[in-house]
Chains A and B, each alone.
Chain A
């Protein structure tokens, strides 16, 4: 049992973090705060999830989103994918364990992982549309978002969704507005089995250790914590019974990282590109300065007159 986040006071409070705690800001340079806030994390214990979707309901309620009603196509996912109005989604996989011949029902709560090295933020061209607070939360600032969809390409987990209504990107905020006033995320609050818990990242890692040991004692030899180092670790982590093959959990990437194509685009291309265009312009300018204009001479005009005179006669 992990002690749940206490109910907050009803007295209005100042947010515990804000603009001054930005570690990164898209398409801008910020001076990171001298002291980092304690890193927070959400731990999702897949082995404890019963697939009730209370987390989805809580998410919809808190964020006041209105996911479209969809039709039943014979799968458990509802809605069928993450949408601009559904920031988190239970993904269900029926997996036959080849070692035991048992059918295992793997239910993973999908959503933003709040990467320490966020690919969305790296790809974003709009200043301040994506921010990362020093406690690890990656948040979208809608008034700065231009709806280009670059974050979708930057994300190694395929999370952001662009709204066709207001043309801005949406994803899980880790309930940054709740956390700022000392509450836990809505999904964690609603989870009836404590499959979702919230605390500092250290606490979550320690709690995960106990869960992993418990799973191993029950025969899940490769149980483990999913905190992928390729993106610098995440602030949403999973306890998986089969941590050696995360891809069986509805395609959770094994060792995710920001795509090298995105790195090349936002890295060398950006600087080399400006250099190439700059060199072209400066070369032209210098050439004009040194050589001066290329002019038609009087002799050229006379030669043309002789040539055309021959014809018209």
Chain B
């Protein structure tokens, strides 16, 4: 990011011309960071839901029973918080709201109908992805805050019972919203083909970048080659 402050381009992003063109989108570090977050979020959702509704209590068996859910859920929450913090520090700048994001969002009907040619060119993230990013960031702060208040084993003495009641209500509502945002996030990755490989192998095809993040692709291509990280240039030369 440091060398590219003027660009809507992330660290490690680069284009490899060829047939097809491939574009590096996520570094190994970013991918590991993402999957630690994803795993913790899924485990948190399963363990949390088991305490949320009696009909879902059976999910606690996945963790070795209710006592284990009670013990382990908050600790996974701590892992998620720091893991997500890593993602936040990596991606916050690229998720700042830009003028084209309003236009993109206003044409959400075209988005859902896959009329991507009618949408404005966007940078590394579109408005939908930015909304996922910022809502998750907010919800995770709310969840860790309220979660600590109801972490009975260590923190019961620091708050009143009335505050803990509020924390329970806030925690469950925030969790419902976070799970819904997560569903949206996962669905979008499944629906838009070629997206999952960005987070698995780290790269996308040039066509994918052209279709969904053209401004990002243009900036990558227009970027002076001298500013490219050395490692990437070496790899490009080798291919």
Binding site for B on A (CB under 8 A): 27-28, 125-127, 144-150, 152-153, 158, 162, 164, 167, 259, 261-262, 264-265, 269-270, 272-274, 276-277, 280-281, 284, 287-288, 291, 293-298, 300-305, 307-312
Look across to chain A and name the residue whose beta carbon is closest to the beta carbon of B166: A261
Measured between beta carbons, the chain A residues less than 8 angstroms from B50 are: 125
Residue picked from A27, A274, A294, most chain B C-beta under 10 Å = A294
Measured between beta carbons, the chain A residues less than 8 angstroms from B17 are: 305, 308-309, 311-312
Cβ proximity bits B138-182 to A, threshold 8 Å, 1 near / 0 not = 000000000000101100100001101110110011001101100
Once the chains bind, are B112 and A303 in contact (CB under 8 Å)? no
Measured between beta carbons, the chain B residues less than 8 angstroms from A162 are: 152-153, 156
> A149 CA to B156 CA in the complex, in Å?
9
With A126-B57, A146-B66, A148-B70 as known contacts, state yes or no: A301 contacts B52, CB within 8 Å: no
B130 at the interface (CB under 8 A from A): no
Q: Which of B36-44, B84-92, B216-224 forms contacts with chain A?
A: B216-224
Measured between beta carbons, the chain A residues less than 8 angstroms from B166 are: 261
> A280 CA to B180 CA in the complex, in Å?
6
B127 at the interface (CB under 8 A from A): no
| CB of B178, distance to nearest CB on chain A (Å) | 10
Measured between beta carbons, the chain B residues less than 8 angstroms from A277 are: 176, 179-180, 183
Measured between beta carbons, the chain B residues less than 8 angstroms from A146 are: 60, 65-67, 69-70
A-B contact pairs, 18 of them (CB 8 A): A127-B57, A148-B152, A149-B156, A149-B164, A259-B165, A261-B168, A265-B168, A270-B53, A272-B176, A273-B176, A280-B183, A294-B193, A304-B20, A305-B21, A307-B206, A308-B15, A309-B17, A310-B221
Look across to chain A and name the residue whose beta carbon is closest to the beta carbon of B173: A269
With A127-B57, A269-B173 as known contacts, state yes or no: A308 contacts B180, CB within 8 Å: no
With A125-B57, A126-B57, A311-B15 as known contacts, state yes or no: A296 contacts B208, CB within 8 Å: yes
Cβ proximity bits B75-100 to A, threshold 8 Å, 1 near / 0 not = 00000000000000000000000000
> A145 CA to B69 CA in the complex, in Å?
12
Once the chains bind, are A264 and B169 in contact (CB under 8 Å)? yes
Once the chains bind, are A301 and B152 in contact (CB under 8 Å)? no
Measured between beta carbons, the chain A residues less than 8 angstroms from B70 are: 146-148, 167
Once the chains bind, are B218 and A301 in contact (CB under 8 Å)? no
Measured between beta carbons, the chain A residues less than 8 angstroms from B205 are: 296, 301, 304
Look across to chain B and name the residue whose beta carbon is closest to the beta carbon of A291: B114
| CB of B78, distance to nearest CB on chain A (Å) | 17
Once the chains bind, are A270 and B52 in contact (CB under 8 Å)? yes
Measured between beta carbons, the chain B residues less than 8 angstroms from A147 are: 67, 70, 152-153
| CB of A222, distance to nearest CB on chain B (Å) | 28
Once the chains bind, are B208 and A300 in contact (CB under 8 Å)? yes
B184 at the interface (CB under 8 A from A): yes
Measured between beta carbons, the chain B residues less than 8 angstroms from A158 are: 161
Cβ proximity bits B200-223 to A, threshold 8 Å, 1 near / 0 not = 000001111111000001100110
B51 at the interface (CB under 8 A from A): yes
Measured between beta carbons, the chain B residues less than 8 angstroms from A145 are: 66
> A274 CA to B183 CA in the complex, in Å?
13
Interchain CB contact (< 8 A) of A261 among B54, B169, B191, B192: B169
> A269 CA to B166 CA in the complex, in Å?
13
Once the chains bind, are A307 and B217 in contact (CB under 8 Å)? yes
Look across to chain B and name the residue whose beta carbon is closest to the beta carbon of A152: B161
Once the chains bind, are A293 and B191 in contact (CB under 8 Å)? yes
Once the chains bind, are A262 and B210 in contact (CB under 8 Å)? no
Once the chains bind, are A262 and B165 in contact (CB under 8 Å)? yes
Look across to chain A and name the residue whose beta carbon is closest to the beta carbon of B58: A127
> A269 CA to B168 CA in the complex, in Å?
11
